[in-house]
Amino acid sequence: MDRDFSNVTHDRGVLFIVTGAKYTSAAIEAAQSVAETNPWAGIAIFTDQQVSGAPFHYVAQMGEGASRRKHEFIARSPFRETLYLDSDTRVTTDLQDLFRLLEKFDIAGAHVRFRESPKRLLTHSADIPKAFPQINCGVMLYKKGVASDALFADWCRIYDQGGFKRDQIPFREALWRSDARFYVFGPEYNKRYIPLSRFGGEPAPKILHLKGYNSRSKLMKAALAIALWPTWRRIRATNKAARA
């Protein structure tokens, strides 16, 4: 395991950025879902906790007192092509097809769910149309390059200038100003709620992104597992059919 990103052998991979024991533990569980479904992918983490061994190939230690503000670390991914994931995620299937977006685009993400709520439309200084809503920064695909580096640098600058506490408002503004080629992928790659139907024609979730995954409560996790049982049954059937 590479502890300072100095000996990277993976070109593509998944990155986590966390602080504190709670979120590091959650990131380990999320990373295990990546390893189980995407054994070809490198897995890296920035953390202020002691982490060793599987499922991570690369661990970088944050300095004491570092924040978990992902915009300060996301450009430092060890991979040429990166999928950033929050710790409250679970990957359900192979994601090589998702990474193919980077053949044409610099960065990709999904719209936030409640994108027309007033707090989602706040800006720092740019006049941005409502038709260009916030992107959920908890699941982001990107590749190294001049355009993405400039986007992430502007994200940091707007965050600091505006005194923001959350990252999606300044990211929306940085993306609006950016020359990066951007693509919005489907919500199945960033599923923020538990599907209540049997999907119909809707694709099965490929990445679940649910707050309950960060809970330390055994009762909460048990309730989440029960609520997700029909979803996982559909996911397993979809994956089996894809392999046939």
- The phi-psi region of residue 40 (left if phi > 0; otherwise alpha if psi is between -120 and 50; otherwise beta) is alpha
Which residue range is the domain that position 45 belongs to? 12-189
116 lies in some domain = yes
- Residue 140: which of 36, 43, 55, 14 has the closest Cα? 14
Give 74's contacts (C-beta < 8 A, 6+ positions apart). 15, 17, 82, 84, 140, 142, 152
What's 191's DSSP letter? B
CATH number at residue 172: 3.90.550.10
Q: Which two tokens stand for residue 41?
A: 């992918």
228 lies in some domain = no
Q: Enter the pTM of the model.
A: 0.91
217 lies in some domain = no
pLDDT tens for the chain, residues 1 to 244: 556 687 889 999 999 999 999 999 999 999 999 999 999 999 999 999 999 888 999 999 887 766 667 899 999 999 999 999 999 999 999 999 999 999 999 999 999 886 666 666 667 778 899 999 999 999 999 999 999 999 999 999 999 887 777 888 899 999 999 999 999 999 999 999 887 655 567 888 999 999 889 888 888 888 988 988 888 888 898 888 888 7
Q: Is the dihedral of CA 82, 84, 90, 92 positive or negative?
A: negative
Number of domains in the chain: 1
204 lies in some domain = no
